[in-house]
Amino acid sequence: MSGQSTRWRRRVGRADLSAVREVRGALRDMLRHWGEAGACDVAELLATELVTNALIHTDHGAEVTATVAPDALRVEVRDHVAGLPGPSHAPYADDGTHGRGLVLLQALADSWGVRPDGAGKVVWFELNGKAAA
């Protein structure tokens, strides 16, 4: 990332799905004057997916970090479980809304990945501020 950047960090508690809305709102505020029309919507969608996955598929909380520079946004979600989440055994697992997070990342992010981090992992994505095609 080039230029001056701003960083925002928030811990979200285990199973605190109301934190997803708070993360999305904080990201929206942070990105108010960043990127082309639609870029903030993509950032909110992808951040929502990552935070929700971390809270649903782990028994621990997560840490969300967003770093924005004039030409790029990076969002990282750190959890405390190594490896990718296993299949969901929750009663809502077959409602057709699960399993799309990584597909959305692949389709909409300019870059993304997963890296080990101590006893857990970090799932991250970057956007360049252009509207999604």
Q: Which of 39-43, 92-96, 127-131 has the highest mean pLDDT?
A: 39-43
Stated pTM of the model: 0.83
Dist. CA 58–CA 53, nearest whole Å: 8
Q: Which residues pair with 121 in a beta bridge?
A: 79, 116
Average predicted confidence (pLDDT) for the chain:
83
Dist. CA 95–CA 97, nearest whole Å: 6
Higher-confidence residue: 21 or 100? 21
Q: What is the mean pLDDT of residues 19-23?
A: 90
Q: What is the mean pLDDT of residues 54-82?
A: 90
Strand, coil or helix: what is 45? helix
